[in-house]
Amino acid sequence: NTNMIIAIDGPAAAGKGTLSRQIAEAYGFHHLDTGLTYRATAKALIDAGLALDDEAVAEKVAREVELAGLDRDILSAHDIGEAASKIAVMPSVRRALVEAQQAFSRREPGTVLDGRDIGTVVCPNAPVKLYVTASPEVRARRRYDEIVAKGEMADYDHVFADVKKRDERDMGRADSPLRPASDAHLLDTSEMSIEAAFRAAKAIIDAAL
Ligand code: C5P
């Protein structure tokens, strides 16, 4: 298998999503936002009125998730993100979704996958790994601005507390915790515009190609 894989990890609201889409577009690669696979599993459970704490049921639903139909607009709701991070601690749910993500990663001519464990677990042999972060304050501010831009109500302190809680759950779990792969390039976007982050990422990727 000769295709190119770009692995992008980082905490919630670090700007990985926008960056990953722009990179995939620039190189003509397929893009998978793996957070959507966890979100789609959570939403399917909620919609079917099923419990979020039954691992066998959650695994079965995870195996039925279709990568083709994932839509961030439908899956963006706050409670879906919360539920996603709860089922994401279940090893058999992770195994099911990781298998689907690995199959996706082999598409030609190349792929960009973003998530929490791409460089460490899903694609440990990816030739390029980025770990995209920003301070919790900056991430909470960006999330807050996004909510307000949609015309919805938000409270900064509440959003900040949510960001911290999500970090703790994602970094603290036993199976595939969020952490940079040892060979990942760190990209702190706290002081960067979207354009600057893209240029910095492109420079790292071009140097590795
Ligand atoms: O990135 P997003 O906020 O959409 O992800 C939702 C949740 O899915 C994350 O908080 C995390 O718990 C989980 N997730 C994961 N592994 C990934 C992608 C997302 O555990 N590769």
Specify the ligand 1 atom closest to the Cα of 114.
21
Cα(192) to centroid of ligand 1, in Å? Answer: 23
| Backbone torsions φ then ψ of 67, nearest 5 degrees | -65, -30
Q: Kindly write down the DSSP assignment for every residue of the chain, as one continuous string.
A: ---EEEEEE--TTSSHHHHHHHHHHHHT-EEEETHHHHHHHHHHHHHTT--SS-HHHHHHHHHT--GGG--HHHH--HHHHHHHHHHTT-HHHHHHHHHHHHHHHT-SSEEEEEESSIIIII-TT-SEEEEEE--HHHHHHHHHHHHHHTT----HHHHHHHHHHHHHHHHH-SSS-S---TTPEEEE-TT--HHHHHHHHHHHHHHH-
Query: What does the pLDDT read at residue 103?
Result: 98
- Residue 61 CB contacts under 8 Å (≥ 6 apart), including other chains: 41, 44, 45, 48, 50
Measured from the Cβ of residue 166, the count of other Cβ atoms closer than 10 Å reads 20
pTM equals: 0.95
The mean pLDDT value for 55-69 works out to 96
Give the tens place of pLDDT for each residue, 151-209. Answer: 999 999 999 999 999 999 999 999 999 999 999 999 999 999 999 999 999 999 999 88
- In percent, the amount of the chain with pLDDT more than 90 equals 94
Query: What does the pLDDT read at residue 1?
Result: 60
- In percent, the amount of the chain with pLDDT more than 70 equals 100
The mean pLDDT value for 14-30 works out to 96
Cα(50) to centroid of ligand 1, in Å? Answer: 20
Q: Which of 72, 1, 64 is nearest to 32 (CA)?
A: 72
> What pLDDT band is residue 2 in, cutting at 50, 70 and 90?
confident
| 12 annotated to a ligand binding site | yes
Structural domains in the chain? 4-208 (3.40.50.300)
| 120 annotated to a ligand binding site | no
Evaluate if residue 25 carries a pLDDT over 70. yes
In this structure, the residues whose C-beta lies within 6 A of any atom of ligand 1 are 12, 34-35, 38-39, 81, 84-85, 88, 115-117, 166, 170
